[in-house]
Amino acid sequence: MKKEIMLNIKGMTCASCVGRVERVLKKDPGVLSAAVKLATEKASIIFEDTKTDPSKLIDDVRRAGYEASSLPTTEEDRLTELKHEGRSVIVAATLSLPLVLPMLFEPFGVHLMLPPILQLALATPVQLLIGARFYTSAWSALKARSGNMELLVAIGTSAAYGLSLYHLLAKSNLHLYFESSAVIITLVLLGKYLEKKAKAQTTSAIRALQDLRPETARVLREGQEVELPLAAVVAGDLVIIRPGERLPVDGIIMEGSTQVDEALMTGENLPIFKKVGDTVVGGSINGDGAVTLRVTAIGNETVLARIIRLVEDAQAKKPPIQRLVDKVASWFVPVVVGISAATVLGVGLVTGDWEAGVLNAVSVLVIACPCALGLATPTSIMVGTGMAAKAGILIKDAEALEIAHGLTVVAFDKTGTLTLGRPTVTTLSSLSSSSEEDILSLAAGVQQGSEHPLAHAILRAAKERKLPIPLVSANRAIPGKGMEGEILGRKYFLGSLDAIEELGLLTQKIRERVEELAGNEETVSCLADRSEAIVLGIVAFRDMVRPEAKRTINELHALGIKTVMISGDNLGSAQKVAHELGIGEVRAQVLPEQKALFVSELRTRGEVVAMVGDGVNDAPALAAADVGIAMSTGTDVAMHTAGITLMRGNPLLISDAIDISRRTYAKIRQNLFWAFFYNIIGIPLAALGYLSPVIAGGAMALSSVSVVTNALLLKRWKRQS
């Protein structure tokens, strides 16, 4: 049986580490896939539980030289680790400062260099104790026949320290370079500390969502009000919510009414009126009314928990550009070691100054650490998905976030996407001896259990007229055609004109009446008695266009994106909406498979296509598109199929989703530019002797910090809508 686990991994420092952990995990015969993220320090693993188990996976990671745990990392753990890193930096800096300060006075003729033995005493704890982590990790990398950042630092600083120790023991008059080895380690540690602090901010959106969950709930047990930890609350419990409190669970209001701030779901701070029978979401803020809820979901099954899980999954998955970066990183360390060795030989053989060759090689090793390369993409993805979640845009797939920046066409379903999805019955027309009330009553019976907007409209109309709704058996949906069911031993069908024609029940009279109603921009369904093989009557509907739809289309056109409509509705109704909104191309009266085929056709034209839909019938097209965008007001099937879900029924969020994608992708490109820029410029300068090891260490630390800081600028993004 397939299972998925998220492991926390400690000790990774660069893209090479990520590659090594992934390779080790994928060698396990039970692992189906493994994706490791440096920025989150997590591994998302799908495995076959009959062939392996979590403890074996943890052992696999440990054999690769890293620490792994299946327990979630708490905020307290993160703070403790950050404080430990900070203390290491302070101790290293305190020991290194006396070594480097005299160098600052040398240009002014002031000679304050410490005695050689004192330099050794200060540099040794930094090199061998504080820097022990580099040797440990480097050794693990060598055992795994790969390289990482620690290997470069360990070789570089050991060379500088070893050369100085040799000169000291030989009592030669040549320079000592203890300050280089100590300062490089200090700068690398400082860079990692600043990087960790910055990375903590990239996950702030997720932590903010997690903090929305109260730890306790006020529950009615045996008529008494008791406060219980959330773990003790079960589905079906009655929970009391007082004014101003945050809802601890998902539920249905059983008593009272109130205004609820559902900004966590919608991105909107405007409160929504809730009454008895309405559903509410855990993490929302109650307004001025006291209400009693019946619990429908707790813990990991709540809407909030699912949102957090989906965002974390998106951050764990790798977009295509990151896979390319990982390939580059896997070759990076061996190439740098080769360049470093060539530098020693080149400078030594050409100038005869082998000491300068060693120092230049140390600079090459230190400046080339691939930290920035490994952080360039995941930090941008993390901030981008986090900001989108806060705005009510749930990006479930990092690949969708990357692809969305290049969209050229957005294809829309009509009902529930561009329209309100709340059609009303406008016309009842009898074509037999049955009365209009009988037709509506039978249609409501057939539609029982359906989630289609037209079904809801029929059921509402029947209830408003207080008509009896007969019991139905063996009813089922026929995608793109209609519903059928059995009532009192007779088979009935409610569906489109094309479906009626397929049944052989279409007459000229029926066609003329349907075309007349369709000409009035009404959506038409025919009710047939299949037992008698006759059409009993017609039900016509009309749906209102969403107020935001026109602006949505205009914004997409302003972004240079074409729009098309793909609808199962009749041509007249679809064209009316398309003309009103300014959509140029329309495909109407199409089945779900035909929607998917048209999306595929658009892609063969060279278009990058997003499909926007909300129903079961949209699922094939959502899957066929480059990017599927689902409205959360629609069905679960649509939301599970799509890579992006709009957490409120507002199509304006589509342009926001494209905007955050473009900005995120721009940050990825900027970060990759800076990551490669540091190395392309720095390595040749270091090899030629224009960068001292100390300056190289500072540049390397700056590269990682600058990449993460640049990604954090995405936090300034604001919704255009």
Question: Which residues carry out catalysis?
Answer: 413
Contact (Cβ atoms closer than 8 angstroms) between residue 369 and residue 152? yes
Token pair, residue 209, equals 């969502």
| Nearest CA among 17, 87, 84, 101 for reference residue 694 | 101
Contact (Cβ atoms closer than 8 angstroms) between residue 302 and residue 249? yes
Q: How many CA atoms lie within 13 A of 157 on its CB side?
A: 30
β-strand partners of 486: 473, 491
| Nearest CA among 197, 200, 203, 198 for reference residue 311 | 203
First to last CA, the chain: 44
Cα radius of gyration (the chain): 33
Contact (Cβ atoms closer than 8 angstroms) between residue 653 and residue 392? yes
Length of the chain in residues, anyone?
721
How far is the C-alpha of 212 from the C-alpha of 444, rounded, in Å? Answer: 41
DSSP string, 588-599: -S--HHHHHHHH
How far is the C-alpha of 89 from the C-alpha of 74, rounded, in Å? Answer: 23
- DSSP H helices, 115-203, are 116-124, 132-143, 149-170, 178-202
Sequence-ordered list of residues with C-beta below 8 angstroms from that of 266, at least 6 positions apart, any chain: 392, 647, 648
Residue 252, helix vs strand vs coil: strand
Sequence-ordered list of residues with C-beta below 8 angstroms from that of 177, at least 6 positions apart, any chain: 160, 161, 163, 164, 359, 693
Could you identify the residue written with the tokens 């470093």?
A: 340
Instruction: Say what the alpha-carbon torsion angle 239, 244, 246, 249 is, to the nearest 10 degrees.
Output: 20
Pairing of strands 523-529, 490-495: antiparallel
DSSP strands (E only) in 288-402: 291-297, 393-395
| Nearest CA among 44, 70, 705, 664 for reference residue 389 | 664
Contact (Cβ atoms closer than 8 angstroms) between residue 326 and residue 19? yes
Distances (CA, A) of 552 to 266, 401, 516: 17, 19, 31
Distances (CA, A) of 133 to 17, 130, 139, 237: 14, 7, 10, 51
Burial degree of 549 (CB within 10 A; 0-12, 13-18, 19+): buried
